[in-house]
Amino acid sequence: MLIVRTIAEARAALRELRARGLSVGLVPTMGALHEGHLSLVRAARAACDDHPGGVVVVSIFVNPKQFGPNEDFAKYPRTFEADMAALEREGVDLIFAPAAEEMYPQGATAFVEVAGVSGRLDGASRPGHFRGVATVVAKLFNIIEPDKAFFGQKDAAQVAVLKKMVDELNFGLELVACPIVREPDGLAMSSRNRYLSAEERRQALVLSRAVREVERLAAGGVTESSELIAAAEAVLAEEPEVRVDYCKVVDPDTLEDVADTQHGALFAVAAFVGTTRLIDNLVLPTRA
Ligand code: PAF
């Protein structure tokens, strides 16, 4: 497993691999890896291992541009040694782990903005967040030039923003969204789960309970968004200390509210458990 820190090194390594005809799968991360990230690595390996084979690249970069001034950039978990060991076990070929100055040299002012969709769901609560995400992911795409890039569906709004960016800016790659990975008790895996105290960890389960309730009602034929939202809010109210940020049924591409889920929709919830902001969601397929 090769670990590179500079853009020049990453480009040189990839040029050599691509010259051998290998396809490239990229898993962008901010480190603090958990099973959710490793599921992306496995998906990349499976998708890129066709003839004549492929390479899996993982980037590890805690991107300062996607954190607001009062957010958790400084305390975001940095677990480089453990991350390296996990990626080595998964047979990853290349790690790109740049310093902030490598990605954003002094004086850099260029950014990528996917207007509209970037201001919805998490973008509404975290102004500038998706501009930071789109900018760093565009840079990673330009540096690594992957054939496919893998993201977790837990960050459904991020997936919507990045799909639109790939489409409208003509990046020549396929963006693959992989299913949410959950703890045995239902909690969606997240690097931020490690902030939770034991009591908060218990309270946090209310998010996946709300998701399951929406899933149950949808399976039973309920398609009215207001009914699904009311049921989810009733579940969320079981934990009065959990502060709901949003609880919505939206179009999965535009993230705009939809009144009905007949044509496919996304149920998405975000809530603060203590000071930790957690998200969860469910894709509601089109009803035949
Ligand atoms: O999902 C994440 O971990 C980050 O938003 C990403 C895509 C690595 C960009 O920094």
pLDDT at site 51: 65
Index of the ligand 1 atom closest to the CA of residue 162: 7
pLDDT of residue 53: 80
Tokens of 154: 């837990």
d(CA 56, CA 25): 5
- Ligand 1, atom 2: closest residue by C-alpha: 29
Q: Is pLDDT of 74 > 70?
A: yes
168-196 pLDDT tens trace? 999 999 999 999 999 999 999 999 999 99
Q: Where are the domains positioned within the chain?
A: 2-178, 191-280
Does 2-178 match 191-280 in CATH topology?
no
Confidence of residue 150 (pLDDT cuts 50, 70, 90): very high
Count of beta carbons in the 10 Å neighbourhood of residue 46: 12
Q: Sort strands 243-250 and 265-273 into parallel, antiparallel or unpaired.
A: antiparallel
**Contact, 144 vs 96, CB < 8 A?**
yes
Out of 155, 175, 178, 189, give the residue to mutate to test ligand 1, the one with the largest number of ligand atoms within 8 Å of its CB.
155
Res 207: pLDDT:
99
Distance 172 CA to ligand 1 centre (A): 20
pLDDT at 50 over 80: no
Q: What is the mean pLDDT of residues 36-53?
A: 89
- Thinking of the domain 2-178, which architecture would CATH place it in? 3-Layer(aba) Sandwich (3.40)
pLDDT digits (tens, 9 = 90+) for 261-288: 999 999 999 999 999 999 999 999 998 6
Token pair, residue 84, equals 């390296």
Structure-derived torsion over alpha carbons of residues 208, 277, 228, 187, reported in degrees to the nearest 10: -10
Q: What is the DSSP string of 78-120?
A: --HHHHHHHHHHTT--EEE---HHHHS-TT-------TTGGGS
- Assigned CATH for 191-280: 3.30.1300.10
| 49 pLDDT tier (thresholds 50, 70, 90) | confident
Question: How far, in Å, from the CA of 13 to the mean position of ligand 1?
Answer: 23
* Tens-place pLDDT, residues 222-254: 999 999 999 999 999 999 999 999 999 999 999
* Cα 266 to Cα 236: distance, rounded to the nearest angstrom: 18
pLDDT value at residue 236 = 99
> What average pLDDT does the structure give for the chain?
97
Question: Which is more confidently placed, 50 or 251?
Answer: 251
DSSP, res 242: S
**CB of 135 shorter than 6 A to ligand 1:** no
Phi, psi of 282 (to 5 degrees): -150, 130
DSSP state of 104: S
Confidence check: pLDDT of 5 > 80: yes
Helix (H) or strand (E) holding 25: strand 23-29
pTM over 0.75: yes
Q: Is 37 a catalytic residue?
A: yes
Q: Which two tokens stand for residue 132?
A: 């930071």
